[in-house]
Amino acid sequence: MNEKRTNNSTPLPPIEPLRLPPEQVKPARDALIIALYYSIFGFLWIAITDTILEALVTDPQVQQTIQLIKGWLFVALTVGIIYFLVFNRLLVIQKYVAKVIETTTILGKTKEALLVQKAITEEIIGQSPVLITIWDSRGNLKSINPYALELLGYDNSEAFREEWLSLIMDSTNRENLQKVFLSLVKQERLLNYETELVTKAGTQLSILWNSGAIAMQDSGETEYVSFGIDITEKKEVSRKLEYLAYHDYLTDLPNRVALDHEVDNRFSRRKAPFAMLYIDLDNFKYINDSLGHQVGDELLIYVANVFKQYVKSPHYVARLGGDEFSVLFSPYESKQQLLEWLSGLEKQLGKTWKIFNHSFYLSFSIGIALSHQHGHDFLTLSKQADIAMYRAKHEGKDQVMFYSDSIEHDNLEQLDMAKRLQSALDEGSFELHYQPQYNIKTNEIVGMEVLLRWNDAERGAISPATFIPFAEESGQIFAIDRFVFIHALQQKLLWEQSGFSDLILSINLSSKTLVSDVNFTEIESILQLYNGDLSKIVVEFTETAVIKDIESALANTTRLRKLGVQIALDDFGTGYSSLTHIKVLPIQMVKLDRNFINQIHHNGKDEIIVRSMIELLTNLGYTIVAEGIENKEQQDYLVKNGCQLGQGYLLSKPLSVAIFNELLAKLK
């Protein structure tokens, strides 16, 4: 396209020409017609009237008088004829003049409307934020609107210089523009095509154009008008949105969507075998909870930056969300090769991370799935890597675990267990049994410990040793604790109303509930609603809960004591700091673990330990309950050494409510 400017002006739209009446006024012709009419009439009048007069009148005097009358009559008749002829012509002239006036009026209004329309058009072209250019059929620029000039940074004189296009376009775009113009000339309309322009300041602009042809009636030539919209910002926003769709906003790593595409691409192109690693930062929650999410974000950025430096192509790293990352290790050749690479990554990350005078130990749980063994698409492979990662976390964290079918089988078992537990809670299929507690010296019943039993419809009886640990891990233990407390307290109230108010009821409280503010408050509320004697209620918990969170355990057991509830430390002797716990916590009762009881008369050291513990706890003023008494020798030894209370199969196994009621009935 050329840049030469021409001075052709665009004419106004053509006006319909004035149409004259059919009987047009022609002066020469009309004058001749009148003269002919007058001549013919005069000739005929004289010839006919004189012939008749001479034939009828012979008297000269009379003839003279008649001739005078005939002359006046001739004048009158010719005046009438001339009047008629002139009047008829004047009517034609009058009609034409009226038409002229009407046409002139219309032309005036049309001109005024065109002037208004022209002014509006010029205002729109001048003020509209759209680039508007007009080209002739040879590609010469004829017109460009002020907005386009302002956007590009040029004035009107610069826009029509021959080298102007070379200023606003590089050679590639100029060649493309030539092709576009040829297409426009051929098709007479071209929609939604883009060109790249450069402003005088050097800024790159993206312009979306729509062009069409206009036939000029006055010159018979065709001109082309183009309307352009600046879409630079829109494209930049679109580019950023597309980038964000495939990248993590915090770490600037590829995200899960990008990882999905990368994995599918590797499978579709049949690239070398690779390993998918799911990497989870251990104990990240504690950093967020203790120092806030801002510090947690700083740690994630630090880890991501290490990944960026260490994970080089053809490896690939992405952030999945939260504290989880994924690495595609390629090509995968052997387990040893991958583990050595992970060892290098661990060295790069370091074992400690410092911020704000705080140091944090860094460890990662890593699950690995192999593309040639464990899946052939992203969903399958990522699921297997995720399963392996959670198994690594379950095994104690800071572990690397390769996926295997046995892991998935165990997970499916856990899912099934969770479903069955929930059904048991919803359907009320749990049952409470009660194991009597005795004064082992007098063999009198002093209370009972409530124990949870579960008889599944398909699997039969399931041991608490199997489902309680799982319930603690899945979080279903909170609902189980509530179930046990509600139903055990209801039963205790029935026994009190039946005259057994002195019996003590011991209820186990899980370590999870003991240190959970929300769930502990619910148990506290259940106890507050109890209408019986709370001093006859013992809440038991193991040392596991205390070790996890001594501060919460101390605060919550203190709240229980204020209600009047007694506190018992269960499985005493199995922990690492029992003496510290019994000194700090507000407990009244200690239960000796069955493992020590089982060693009585089998190991001299265990007997000494049991005897020493009984003596120590008695001197400290605690009530002692021995668990797991299975034979008479054990009972006699405990009585001999001052143990007050006990329970076990020697005395009674756990009983259903109905059988326990029969036992109580014998006491009346």
Average pLDDT of every residue of the chain: 83
For the chain, the distance separating the N- and C-terminal CA atoms, rounded to the nearest angstrom, is: 116
What does residue 449 show for φ and ψ, rounded to 5 degrees? -105, 130
Parallel, antiparallel, or unpaired: how do β-strands 204-215 and 222-230 relate?
A: antiparallel
Within 10 angstroms of residue 287's Cβ, the number of other Cβ atoms is: 21
* Residue 566's CATH number: 3.20.20.450
**Residue 48 predicted with pLDDT over 50:** yes
275-284, 300-309, 427-436, 601-610: the lowest-pLDDT one: 601-610
DSSP, collapsed to helix, strand or coil, labels residue 38 as helix
Q: Which pLDDT score is estimated for 447?
A: 95
Can the peptide bond before residue 314 be classed as cis, meaning omega within 30 degrees of 0?
A: yes
- Which two structure tokens, joined as six digits, stand for 109? 């209004």
pLDDT in tens, 572-587: 766 555 566 777 889 9
Domain annotation covers residue 245:
no
Read off the amino acid at residue 140: N
Judgement on whether residues 287 and 349 belong to the same structural domain of the protein: yes
Share of the chain above pLDDT 70, in %: 86
| Cα separation, 285 vs 221, whole angstroms | 76
Judgement on whether residues 64 and 78 belong to the same structural domain of the protein: yes
| Cα separation, 511 vs 156, whole angstroms | 82
Domain annotation covers residue 413:
no
Within 10 angstroms of residue 8's Cβ, the number of other Cβ atoms is: 13
Q: Which pLDDT score is estimated for 13?
A: 45
| Cα separation, 644 vs 389, whole angstroms | 49
If one counts the domains in the chain, the total is 4
pLDDT interval class at 215 (50, 70, 90): confident
Domain annotation covers residue 11:
no
Judgement on whether residues 51 and 88 belong to the same structural domain of the protein: yes
pLDDT in tens, 101-122: 676 666 666 556 655 555 555 5
Q: Which pLDDT score is estimated for 545?
A: 66
**CA 412 vs CA 272, 417, 419, 472, 475: distances in Å:** 31, 8, 10, 17, 17
**Residue 415 predicted with pLDDT over 80:** no
- Last residue of a domain, which of 372, 403, 434? 403
**Best CA proximity match to 570, nearest among 547, 608, 544:** 544
Q: Which pLDDT score is estimated for 219?
A: 65
Judgement on whether residues 617 and 581 belong to the same structural domain of the protein: yes
pLDDT top residue among 9 and 374: 374
**Residue 9 predicted with pLDDT over 80:** no
**Sequence-separated (6 or more) residues with CB below 8 Å from residue 254:** 246, 247, 248, 262, 316, 317, 318, 319
Judgement on whether residues 208 and 319 belong to the same structural domain of the protein: no
Average pLDDT over residues 468-472: 86
Q: How many Cα atoms are found within 13 Å in the side-chain-facing hemisphere of 306?
A: 16
Q: Which residues of 247-260 are buried (b: 16+ CB within 10 A; e: fewer)?
A: bbeebebbbbebbb
**Element (H or E) spanning 232, and its range?**
helix 232-246
Domain annotation covers residue 415:
no
| Cα separation, 361 vs 371, whole angstroms | 32
pLDDT top residue among 239 and 643: 643
Sheet of 400-402, strands arranged across = 316-321, 324-329, 275-281, 364-370, 400-402
Domain annotation covers residue 281:
yes
Judgement on whether residues 262 and 206 belong to the same structural domain of the protein: no
pLDDT in tens, 504-518: 999 999 989 998 889
Please report how the helices 293-310 and 284-291 are oriented relative to each other, as an axis angle in degrees rounded to 10. Answer: 140
| Cα separation, 549 vs 289, whole angstroms | 15
| Cα separation, 396 vs 384, whole angstroms | 19
Judgement on whether residues 472 and 576 belong to the same structural domain of the protein: yes
* Residue 218's CATH number: 3.30.450.20
Q: Which pLDDT score is estimated for 146?
A: 85
| Cα separation, 429 vs 449, whole angstroms | 20
Average pLDDT over residues 642-662: 94
* Residue 263's CATH number: 3.30.70.270
| Cα separation, 553 vs 385, whole angstroms | 37
Judgement on whether residues 116 and 142 belong to the same structural domain of the protein: no
Residue 642, judged by CB atoms within 10 A of its CB (0-12, 13-18, 19+), counts as middle
Asked if 451 and 509 touch (Cβ cutoff 8 Å), the reply is no
DSSP, collapsed to helix, strand or coil, labels residue 295 as helix
Q: Which pLDDT score is estimated for 96?
A: 62
Q: Which pLDDT score is estimated for 326?
A: 95
Give the domain range for residue 152. 128-236
Average pLDDT over residues 124-139: 74
Judgement on whether residues 628 and 485 belong to the same structural domain of the protein: yes
403-407, 480-484, 644-648: the lowest-pLDDT one: 403-407
DSSP, collapsed to helix, strand or coil, labels residue 251 as coil
Please report how the helices 477-497 and 405-427 are oriented relative to each other, as an axis angle in degrees rounded to 10. Answer: 30
**Element (H or E) spanning 285, and its range?**
helix 284-291
Domain annotation covers residue 481:
yes
| Cα separation, 390 vs 365, whole angstroms | 8
pLDDT top residue among 626 and 171: 626
What does residue 190 show for φ and ψ, rounded to 5 degrees? -145, 125
- Last residue of a domain, which of 94, 125, 156? 125
**Residue 319 predicted with pLDDT over 80:** yes
Judgement on whether residues 305 and 285 belong to the same structural domain of the protein: yes
pLDDT in tens, 340-366: 999 999 888 887 787 777 777 888 999
Domain annotation covers residue 274:
yes
Average pLDDT over residues 514-530: 93
- Last residue of a domain, which of 236, 264, 289? 236
**Residue 531 predicted with pLDDT over 50:** yes
For tokens 């026994």, name the residue: 495
**Residue 158 predicted with pLDDT over 90:** no
- If phi over 0 gives left and psi between -120 and 50 gives alpha, with beta otherwise, what is residue 541? beta
Asked if 567 and 586 touch (Cβ cutoff 8 Å), the reply is yes
Average pLDDT over residues 175-201: 83
Judgement on whether residues 52 and 90 belong to the same structural domain of the protein: yes
Q: Which pLDDT score is estimated for 7?
A: 40
Judgement on whether residues 276 and 306 belong to the same structural domain of the protein: yes
pLDDT interval class at 5 (50, 70, 90): very low
Q: Which pLDDT score is estimated for 14?
A: 47
**Best CA proximity match to 446, nearest among 501, 527, 507:** 501
Query: What would the DSSP string read from start to end of 335-362?
Result: HHHHHHHHHHHHHHH-SEEEETTEEEE-
Domain annotation covers residue 416:
no
- Which two structure tokens, joined as six digits, stand for 367? 């699950």
